[in-house]
Structure 1
Amino acid sequence: MTPSDSADSAGADPYAELLDYGRRLGAGLDHLHAGGAPELAATAREVICRADKLTLYRYLPRVAAPQKTPLLIVYALVNRPTMTDLQPDRSLVRGLLDAGLEVYLIDWGYPDRADRLLTLDDYVNGYLHDCVETVCARHGLPAIHVLGICQGGVLSLAYAALHPGRVRNLIPMVTPVDFHVPEFLLTKLVRPLDLELMIGTLGNMPGPLLNFLFLSLSPFRQGRQKYVHVADLAEDPGALANFVRMEHWIYDCPDLAGTAFREFVTATFHDNRLVRGDFEIGGRRVDPARLLMPMLNIYATRDHIVPPQSSQALRRLYGGRDYSEIAFDGGHIGIYVSRQASRQIAPAIADWLRSR
């Protein structure tokens, strides 16, 4: 029996498979080089104002008569808000615009050592409040809609509890609330950190280090498996471009202002104060019972970063009468960039706001 006969009897020839994998991988690299760097955050927008590292953007409407009350997107301090507009055909921002909304977004920028003493009070009662006031003034309204994403959802909940008259409708999205549910693996990774030593030594929380913690939640898939499958995208330049966009977003990690990071981790991952009812910002208690405005809580059922059980805890803390939930069948990232999400999430948000 020849070696080829042996390979045929056992199935596909491993040498041929290896050669084909190399060919496809080479073809994919050629497509990437030919296409250049893919563009992120391509939806047309304008700068409304800047403050220190922060930029407030307004997206240009895509319908003739958008809804009168604008929506402000408050992204997390972690990673970059380009996730909301990562791909032209699967963009949360573009979906909201196409659904008839007027959309603003806060880009927190890249904090440096000069920002190490910024507190949660600075972010919530300072920067965030100023952005809300700016949008309200531009539209001549006393209150606007607020969509808070992940950690930005926690900041939005705090802001709405402290300034309830400025938030007409509140939409937390994949937002952690109960940080001590057993499924919250990130809590188990973060709590052992020596915050005083880390922040005292470094000044800020390095973005790449925090990103390493997130990648550690799914080490094989994020560190190895996805790169093996790059060759499967070789014949599809569009899919390759989307892969590169995602990789760029994953590793685009701003540092976090040291004092604010320490305050946030202590109040949430360590002490779970939002659930306990003793979370304070700027000397004022963040009381979820003051959240009386209509609320749409959106979470992902297969979220490996913010487990749905953590987000669902908001139902029992909410003090109002108009509470709704959307359980998206997907993950923490898929809720922004999957085809299913592009068909469901933005239209559902627009419909919910339109009815209120």
Structure 2
Amino acid sequence: MNSENKDKIISLRHLLHANPELSMQEINTRHFLIDFLKKYTRLEIREYGHWFCALYHAPVPGAPMIAFRADMDALPIPEGDAVPKDHASLHPGVSHKCGHDGHCAALAGFALEVWQKQPSVNVCFLFQHAEETGQGGRECAESLADAGCAAVYAVHNLSGYPENSIICRRGLTQCASRGLTLYFHGRASHASQPEDGLSPAGALSRMVSYSQSLPHSHIFREKVLCTVIRIHMGEKDFGIAPGEGEISFTIRANQESDLELLEQLLREKAAGLAAADGLSMEYQIADPFPETRNHDSAITAVEQAAKRLGKERIELPEPWRASEDFGYYTKKCPGAIFYVGNGTDYAPLHSTDYDFNDRILETIVDMYLEILTEYC
């Protein structure tokens, strides 16, 4: 990567980090990125509401289109004191704790390099909204399929692995997941006469026990996980036995069919407990993510690129449990997501002291450039 281009994207990354925006609110983030691309390239910019893409048109008729995607959104996590003050978040309670600022800066740097090198293949640089909630991938993937892209790639930074190492996996690489909230409706009463009410306490406690037993059953094809993330019933008012309660889970599975079965079992159990205690029950789904599966041809291109660059290559022994809406893309066309190591002792993703490692920006850009040569 050109050293001047590297300096440019480090500055861009710091600008994005200082101005984080939550999912579906990535207004200034889009503007910063579009301004950067317009300043340093003549790529065609196409805006689609919450997201946009930049297109490089090769000077070769009939060349294939290869897409590369970066996510733009931040998280509702406070900035930690370990992040340098020159680019720390300016928005209290919101920060880039998953490295999407770095993903975007790297993709913008790749776009700059492509514009300067003028390769013989068409390239789509796709900047996606709302990855953290799973909303953006489905919308963008539909447009990508309509555009007839031959392949799509993405990257994610990953702590716990050697800095600038390339981590990848064939087939299933990240799990499917969704949020499930169960609401139990009963009747409140005076705390001295709980028999006059209909309390959800028993149903909530039994749901906790049941949810923790499910992953150990033998009815699923592969690994499933059920994490209780919130339980709420009443307030700290010692004169009231509450009649309303709710419990929220993140449910996760290697296979989408197992995820559907896990949700079904939880809802059926909740309905049975509600009926037994004279309660009514309803549920809500949030943040759905598909399973993400890499295509063999695409992950081979990643492995060959890493080999040519002399990068340390590490095979992910098991799917990364964290979910990723890039799975919507690989349902539409061949593609792969790979990972670049932040360092073995680097701050973990989604932690307050995490800050994207600028030293891996060049590796991401170089990997993208090498992958692109597979199609030239």
**Fold conserved (TM > 0.5)?**
no
With the length of structure 2 as denominator, give the TM-score of the two structures: 0.34
**Structure in which a larger fraction of residues adopt helix:** 1
With the length of structure 1 as denominator, give the TM-score of the two structures: 0.35
**Structure in which a larger fraction of residues adopt strand:** 2
